Structure 1
């Protein structure tokens, strides 16, 4: 098939994806701003934020992964032009996201004592505990927001979440400045100021999203008729059956990177701080392909609802190609700027900075290599979610990350001289395995649908 068949889909892909990408970048900037501002306080503070966030990221991955079940169901209902089905998905999704946010906060709060048992530096652990309490609480508004976001994305209305995230960042940046450093009448809270800013900005984000959607005529019918009595077993089961495997897919990947944070913490504070710098940069570029993944999920879900599986395959592959182009460009930038980028995250007057910069620059080179693997695996996962195929991909990601990737990270990181570099080689191995096997799964499944419907 000619390349032009796929490239002509690029404008539609980009039109749908760019607000999602900007919104996700806004979401990621919350963590980046925290890391840059807290990093100026010193490597110990940055390592403490990294350790606390490693717990929160696990909860966040489960919540966000679960919420993605809403999008393909809404997209399918939209393809079928069914308001009743779409409204039911929306109401059930919001209730489930609210419950999950509360549950995850409770679990993380109860699990906080585990930090002491993880072999991390004592001074890092003591700083991380109060920070963790606040940022874990911010999961409640964040996951409720995801319920609204995934609904709007499924309706191909992706700009609302973008504006919500941008507002969140403005509020967060302001609060960070005044609360970390004690500007004007505000108390000087240090790294805890960043946590308070995160909580408040995420509450603002969900409030904005609710009223922005409810005020639009297009969405008003979906807000009507809400009742807890209407929350039924069948739709709940449908969302849970899609949401739980999706949650575990995301959990397996995020937990892999969380494991890398813990391993680097066992190696030393400088390795953990360097890992956080490289991970922050890799996460930033990952948001571009994550946006494409959502666009692929929506467009594939629409085509599934319509029943055009040949078009579905073309749309999905056009997303894959676009992801390769974008991540390839970032890989080149990482190679060219690997010694420059870490400087933005450290205070050169603080001790051990030179060692942090040296380790981080090497990790960024490895991150450059896995840009392609990471990009491919996430967009293929999006297409598979659009097909509502989630269980087999869940097993694939478990094997790729925890049977292949993490054991390599443990061995090379703790038992060789590679240390933090070895940990990241393990990450690269897991992501590459996931990309290959997930693509083979999509190719087989989409071909089966074409044969069955031809």
Structure 2
């Protein structure tokens, strides 16, 4: 048996694979920044409405993205086995599964739309919330179909294609966003509703580009053959659902610890809601960068599982954690220096910027827990051990984090700072449970 790959080699391979994913994620971060800055400078009320709607949809988008993540370890293990003929068929069934999941989420969000008036949000925001909500609802189908293609490409270690599509789509979105929010280039001034239209168009465009690339790019030829020669089958469909739904629920519950607290923040004030949106946009920078490296970790772990190479599988997982921790230390150090001024990028309201500055300490505290849970959640995904993650996530994000948000924020009276102080408890407890589970599952050879 050959010696395991050294840690420096694992770092290099993870960086090569992960950097394109991170760049694509940074493109999404810039998009979130651009949206929040443009909307915030158009009006504080629209910023508060955007906070409410975006955080409700983030719960669905992250959950649906989690479902599509179930495809990556399936493709990665086939790629490790060098079984290229089956990969196209898996993609075909994944597109069907993602389409059905999109319809389920659209139905659920439609029911929620008709109950928005019962969520006790500021009355002045409701006329802004409803039209923006409907436009974002129409874009969900394009997100899930794009995600299926992205996870297929990532699984065969082609992370650059998704990166370029995301960057192009987000650049178009930012330009169109400005034009529709402020009424530039002869277009009407639509404010927040214009931001929604821009989002819908860019998501459709990215899906269409990926379809075109898959159909015509020469390097996908062997996968296209498997795609068109295969049939929809129940075995693949069951496998993808068995992998996807636990991941959707795991990531959805994690996001819920942030998104559902938005409703609580809305009980405080519009100022608090606007500050909450700014901080969530900033914290998304960390999450997206970490998850880019986490996704690379899952791909490498799945590849080694396909080869039945347990020593390198474990080293790939811990190498991913090491890299994410380095990113966490550097990123939090930089942002801490600008905590008092960064809020001014998003709004001119001094009360909002002061509230933003007060939330940096709890955000910095939870970075270790976030890095730990991202690294080992993705490592468990790579070995297809996903069902237990639902239980861990429920305990961490609902029993611990969401409950603590209410207690710290309202029972103890710390307001929005108390709500944010609950997040480190949830993220760190999840990280510890995922880490212990990975250690347990990789002490002996993995089941085929």
Shorter-normalised TM range: over 0.9
Could you tell me whether the CA contact under 8 Å between 1:265 and 1:271 is conserved in 2?
A: yes
1:281 is displaced (CA, Å) by 0.5
Secondary structure (helix, strand or coil) at the match of 1:230 reads coil
Aligned residue in 2 for 1:449: 445
Gapped regions of structure 1 (runs ≥ 5): none
Aligned residue in 1 for 2:335: 334
Aligned residue in 2 for 1:182: 183
Superposed CA deviations along residues 291-320 of structure 1, whole A, max 9, x for unmatched, are: 111101110000000000011001110101
State the alpha-carbon separation in 1 of the partners of residues 64 and 313 from structure 2: 28
Q: Please, which moves more after superposition, 310-319 or 25-34?
A: 25-34
Could you tell me whether the CA contact under 8 Å between 1:135 and 1:199 is conserved in 2?
A: yes
Question: Normalization by structure 1: what TM-score?
Answer: 0.94
Aligned residue in 2 for 1:383: 379
1:341 is displaced (CA, Å) by 1.2
State the alpha-carbon separation in 2 of the partners of residues 335 and 183 from structure 1: 35
Aligned residue in 2 for 1:104: 105
State the alpha-carbon separation in 1 of the partners of residues 312 and 84 from structure 2: 24
1:179 is displaced (CA, Å) by 0.7
State the alpha-carbon separation in 1 of the partners of residues 12 and 31 from structure 2: 29
Question: Normalization by structure 2: what TM-score?
Answer: 0.96
Aligned residue in 1 for 2:434: 438
Aligned residue in 1 for 2:169: 168
Aligned residue in 2 for 1:287: 288
State the alpha-carbon separation in 1 of the partners of residues 142 and 118 from structure 2: 29
1:303-342 maps to which residues of 2 (within 5 A)?
A: 303-342=304-343
State the alpha-carbon separation in 2 of the partners of residues 116 and 190 from structure 1: 22
Superposed CA deviations along residues 364-397 of structure 1, whole A, max 9, x for unmatched, are: 2211121221122112111100000001111111
Aligned residue in 2 for 1:360: 356
1:404 is displaced (CA, Å) by 0.8
Aligned residue in 2 for 1:344: 345
Could you tell me whether the CA contact under 8 Å between 2:78 and 2:86 is conserved in 1?
A: yes
State the alpha-carbon separation in 2 of the partners of residues 159 and 354 from structure 1: 41
State the alpha-carbon separation in 2 of the partners of residues 315 and 336 from structure 1: 33
Aligned residue in 2 for 1:14: 15
Aligned residue in 2 for 1:87: 88
For the pair 1:270 / 2:271, whether they are aligned, the reply is: yes
Secondary structure (helix, strand or coil) at the match of 2:206 reads helix
User: Paired residue for 2:402, among 391, 401, 406?
Assistant: 406
Could you tell me whether the CA contact under 8 Å between 2:87 and 2:226 is conserved in 1?
A: no
Could you tell me whether the CA contact under 8 Å between 2:73 and 2:384 is conserved in 1?
A: yes
1:229–1:160 CA distance, 2 compared to 1 (3 A): closer
1:31 is displaced (CA, Å) by 2.4
Could you tell me whether the CA contact under 8 Å between 2:298 and 2:381 is conserved in 1?
A: yes
Could you tell me whether the CA contact under 8 Å between 2:89 and 2:230 is conserved in 1?
A: no
State the alpha-carbon separation in 1 of the partners of residues 28 and 177 from structure 2: 15
Secondary structure (helix, strand or coil) at the match of 2:42 reads coil
1:167 is displaced (CA, Å) by 0.8
Could you tell me whether the CA contact under 8 Å between 1:267 and 1:414 is conserved in 2?
A: no
Could you tell me whether the CA contact under 8 Å between 1:30 and 1:198 is conserved in 2?
A: no
Aligned residue in 1 for 2:212: 211
State the alpha-carbon separation in 2 of the partners of residues 341 and 182 from structure 1: 26
State the alpha-carbon separation in 2 of the partners of residues 100 and 135 from structure 1: 16
Could you tell me whether the CA contact under 8 Å between 2:341 and 2:353 is conserved in 1?
A: no
Gapped regions of structure 2 (runs ≥ 5): none
User: Paired residue for 1:417, among 413, 417, 435?
Assistant: 413
1:448 is displaced (CA, Å) by 2.6
1:38-57 maps to which residues of 2 (within 5 A)?
A: 38-57=39-58
Superposed CA deviations along residues 215-272 of structure 1, whole A, max 9, x for unmatched, are: 2222122223656992111110000000000000010011111112111111111111
Aligned residue in 1 for 2:370: 374
1:174-253 maps to which residues of 2 (within 5 A)?
A: 174-224=175-225, 226=227, 230-253=231-254
Secondary structure (helix, strand or coil) at the match of 2:190 reads coil
Q: Please, which moves more after superposition, 100-109 or 321-330?
A: 100-109
Secondary structure (helix, strand or coil) at the match of 1:9 reads helix
Tell me the number of residue pairs that the alignment of Structure 1 and Structure 2 aligns: 444
1:122 is displaced (CA, Å) by 0.9
Could you tell me whether the CA contact under 8 Å between 1:330 and 1:371 is conserved in 2?
A: no
State the alpha-carbon separation in 2 of the partners of residues 152 and 317 from structure 1: 24
